[in-house]
Structure 1
């Protein structure tokens, strides 16, 4: 079976499998029967190990099926099976991760967002003691394996996988119905798929009905503006497109396939609107982002490689998301024909505008979805992005960004961030609102501050060699880009190393104004 699947693949799909497996083979720990974590080699990776099993079954070289069975049994060993707990059915991220503590209250009665509102006082702390999303990730992986390779797996392992999925889907549905830990867009898509797929597999009519109703709600929300709550996010768009591929290939009813097709088509339309083929990147702003570079923490480049083909292998370069590539190779791509030119050929100067409703994970239901507007000015060698309307507390929200490329081909990035003094930007912080806008060659931002602790509002510039001495309070001379800076803010301090500069403005509660504004204008 594996060879017949592989033989039906295009050359680019086979390349993805071989490339990813070469990478994951190097991380496999024979003694632990799992993949090592690429960023922490003394730890092992549960989700990645499941993806590795997909690649082993698909590759089907001597010993691969046997190794896949061993790995899958180990992944199942990581599942948390206490039915009374908020984390029921999810998986420990690593065997080195301590089991989460027991909850102190009946969490299902506490209402939406309870895992955040009550936190360590009465519940196991979400993300720090357990990852609720591993239910959905592992369940999607198991669905792919059972759909394509069940006949070559030991019967005992299949039975263990089925038992595991009963717990995973049960826990996932409890999570969705209580909203104790809200689901971002990519997790919603996975949740709907696994409730549908395993509902069909187990003949569970309640699960099937739940999946149908959730798919209708998701579709209606998407079609309002043709956008997702995790807007313009290369990391999560990669997951979204992968899972929509699961809907397309493995859904058991035409209605779910139709809804998935609408969302997949609309998502590619949105991607094309903000994509620049010269910079090979999506413009900001980003509702959620880790990196400014699309190829650093995302599968997006993999999909574009499948579209563009030979000569674009660099778009599928190994990164922390590459473990997904065997699944991506299985489901392929479905990009509308009229969208494809925008992903391959520069479309000229333009202003891109899109509305979306965000998800504020830590706010109450009814108060956690705000109407936002994303704008981007896109030229051949520079992109400016600005977001308005957001009240998100998540530091992954990037409201103001600039991407550009020099004549020599070096890419640079600028993003506006915030952090408590001495802290890190990737945290939840209340009392900071950004209102950003763009027009031709200009990015403007208003910052509103109401925090108890001192906060740094700062522009981070990165990508290549930088000389901080060429930045003044009113003019930033950067490689390939000159900016005039008009700021209504405390005097900036400039910190740098060879490839990163921070221009920092400090807000001191009660001492400095609680509003800052910045206008960055490109000087031709």
Structure 2
């Protein structure tokens, strides 16, 4: 391994300090860093910890890494007939998914969509018919529980993506540290990787569970890397063919389905760095080089150096701030140095930092200035083809248009054309900074009453457009569920706001609001404010429309 730069050393030291503190010696695994009560461990983070231990190479680190690697491999599913073959339990505390009831290899491509949608319709019908007897929620929960005991529900009983994540970590370990490891560990790792890649290829070819972009890139990398390592010509040919498909798809608009997401861009850049450094095939490296450069072009368009954030809209995302649930700030630090060190604060992605330090960064020279300083007001328009992972595989990729307006202290993001059911889609967003330097954000989300915004939900379509100081939104409802449409406003500290029907006075921003919608309910709690519009099923109003326009200081008087 080459000598590390000051930035790489900092990332390794910071992440290892975090991971050392949550290491459970008895389990030889990390506690789940998102689990404050330490009730479960994290298989993926433990694999990342093994990478960091070997990079640090201190007293006892190699021995601990071997213990961790063995424990991670204990978590692998090894029945080749199951849909989860080769992936890993997310933690030793996770339930083992049911087996022996699901001959998934005998079904055609895309069967997962039809199975899932059929179960959803049965649950809806059953809960509706028995609602008066037992309560709709209880009936639906009982049905879902019964189905999950027979058919292994993806994401609930297993995570297919752990194949690719852990395989990437293992590839890096074998590339740099094979000679430091006992032969028994290396042999067991190679066997685990054979299972993982077989399962990953079967998943891809069957389209049983669609792959989002970051998983597609990891899939390409591990097929290429382990195909050459384990002398599997069919994996090498698969990687080359799929790399060319991916490259052509990306070149249509210079974008991919995982569009404008600070969370997943961090993973994408990590894997593209692996391909740049460790890719074996010229076809795979060619694809990686073109996509990595194009991804930085997209980041340069949507990144606001003054607000230190990626402007919306987001095809997938958890948080509005780039420093939360994201590694993108880590890449900016590697690219720009000390001036961006504050963007590397510890978050739930920090266990990836040893891998990122090895992947490095390769920002095109023409993008660097856009990352260093705000280049002036601009309106951005960009198209991409989305992936609706829970839709009909014959019609799950729609052409979407993102618009973003970036001003000196305000930026607005909007999405038109998406039909994605995922709650991670953020089709209407704002970020701004007040005169005292505090930063705020707003996003529009939807949820069932009493539910969570992040869940998949059918029957709600949002189209939005951004202009100079203006955000226009229209929402269509075709669902029989009680829905709350929520404008969620967050700040860096508790704040006061004045919300009326036509004007929202927020710290640092006043908006004139035109709303074709029911009267809202305003709910404030600490540093978060919700403006809630409720959709009532079977009502005559199946649409809501909003226009939010910034009121300039000279116009802000009542």
Query: Under a length normalisation based on structure 1, what TM-score does the superposition of the two structures give?
Result: 0.97
Return closer, same or farther for 1:253/1:391 CA change in 2, 3 Å cut-off: same
Residue equivalent to 1:359: 387
Shift of 1:116: 4.5
Return closer, same or farther for 1:142/1:467 CA change in 2, 3 Å cut-off: closer
> Out of 250, 264, 287, which is 1:236 matched to?
264
The question of whether the paired residues in 1 share the 8 Å contact of 2:380 and 2:403 is answered with yes
Return closer, same or farther for 1:432/1:267 CA change in 2, 3 Å cut-off: same
Residue equivalent to 2:276: 248
The question of whether the paired residues in 1 share the 8 Å contact of 2:497 and 2:505 is answered with no
Residue equivalent to 1:146: 174
Return closer, same or farther for 1:465/1:52 CA change in 2, 3 Å cut-off: closer
Partners of 2:380 and 2:493 in 1: CA distance: 30
> Out of 363, 374, 391, which is 1:346 matched to?
374
Residue equivalent to 2:13: 18
Secondary structure in 1 matching 2:533: strand
Secondary structure in 2 matching 1:502: strand
Select between 450-459 and 252-261 the one with higher mean Cα deviation: 252-261
Shift of 1:313: 1.5
Partners of 1:464 and 1:157 in 2: CA distance: 47
Partners of 2:188 and 2:296 in 1: CA distance: 37
Secondary structure in 2 matching 1:310: helix
Partners of 1:19 and 1:457 in 2: CA distance: 39
Residue equivalent to 2:299: 271
The answer as to 2:527 corresponding to 1:492 is: no
The question of whether the paired residues in 2 share the 8 Å contact of 1:400 and 1:416 is answered with yes
The question of whether the paired residues in 2 share the 8 Å contact of 1:115 and 1:125 is answered with no
The question of whether the paired residues in 2 share the 8 Å contact of 1:108 and 1:180 is answered with no
> Out of 36, 43, 48, which is 1:46 matched to?
43
Secondary structure in 2 matching 1:131: coil
Secondary structure in 2 matching 1:220: helix
The question of whether the paired residues in 2 share the 8 Å contact of 1:54 and 1:145 is answered with yes
The question of whether the paired residues in 2 share the 8 Å contact of 1:468 and 1:501 is answered with no
Over residues 369-409 of structure 1, what are the superposed CA-to-partner deviations in whole Å (9 max), with x where a residue is unaligned? 00000010001211100000000000110000000111222
> Out of 67, 81, 85, which is 2:82 matched to?
85
Residue equivalent to 2:320: 292
Over residues 234-272 of structure 1, what are the superposed CA-to-partner deviations in whole Å (9 max), with x where a residue is unaligned? 110000000000000001122221210000000000010
Partners of 2:457 and 2:59 in 1: CA distance: 52
Matches of residues 318-329 of structure 1 in structure 2 within 5 Å?
A: 318-329=346-357
Return closer, same or farther for 1:474/1:369 CA change in 2, 3 Å cut-off: same
Q: Can you give the 5+ residue segments of structure 2 that lack an aligned partner in the other structure?
A: 117-143, 553-558
Over residues 446-494 of structure 1, what are the superposed CA-to-partner deviations in whole Å (9 max), with x where a residue is unaligned? 1000001111111000114455651111100000001000000011111
Partners of 2:534 and 2:73 in 1: CA distance: 48
The answer as to 2:112 corresponding to 1:110 is: no
RMSD (Å), alpha carbons: 1.2
Residue equivalent to 1:217: 245
Partners of 2:497 and 2:203 in 1: CA distance: 52
Q: Can you give the 5+ residue segments of structure 1 that lack an aligned partner in the other structure?
A: none
Matches of residues 50-129 of structure 1 in structure 2 within 5 Å?
A: 50-119=47-116, 121=147, 123-129=151-157
The question of whether the paired residues in 2 share the 8 Å contact of 1:185 and 1:240 is answered with yes
Residue equivalent to 1:180: 208
Residue equivalent to 1:304: 332
The question of whether the paired residues in 2 share the 8 Å contact of 1:490 and 1:512 is answered with no
Secondary structure in 1 matching 2:396: coil
Partners of 2:337 and 2:495 in 1: CA distance: 38
Shift of 1:112: 3.7
Secondary structure in 1 matching 2:432: strand
The question of whether the paired residues in 2 share the 8 Å contact of 1:112 and 1:364 is answered with no
Secondary structure in 2 matching 1:50: helix
Over residues 169-193 of structure 1, what are the superposed CA-to-partner deviations in whole Å (9 max), with x where a residue is unaligned? 0000000000110000000000011
Secondary structure in 2 matching 1:195: helix
Residue equivalent to 1:32: 27
Partners of 1:200 and 1:302 in 2: CA distance: 31
The question of whether the paired residues in 1 share the 8 Å contact of 2:50 and 2:65 is answered with yes
The question of whether the paired residues in 1 share the 8 Å contact of 2:496 and 2:507 is answered with no
Return closer, same or farther for 1:100/1:304 CA change in 2, 3 Å cut-off: same
Residue equivalent to 2:233: 205
The question of whether the paired residues in 2 share the 8 Å contact of 1:51 and 1:323 is answered with yes
Shift of 1:308: 1.4
The question of whether the paired residues in 1 share the 8 Å contact of 2:335 and 2:362 is answered with no
Return closer, same or farther for 1:314/1:468 CA change in 2, 3 Å cut-off: closer
> Out of 460, 466, 473, which is 2:488 matched to?
460
Partners of 2:59 and 2:419 in 1: CA distance: 54
Over residues 342-389 of structure 1, what are the superposed CA-to-partner deviations in whole Å (9 max), with x where a residue is unaligned? 011111000011100000010111210000000100012111000000
The answer as to 2:361 corresponding to 1:333 is: yes
Secondary structure in 1 matching 2:338: coil
Secondary structure in 2 matching 1:309: helix
Select between 103-112 and 210-219 the one with higher mean Cα deviation: 103-112
Secondary structure in 1 matching 2:485: strand
Shift of 1:103: 4.9
The answer as to 2:380 corresponding to 1:385 is: no
Partners of 1:21 and 1:447 in 2: CA distance: 45
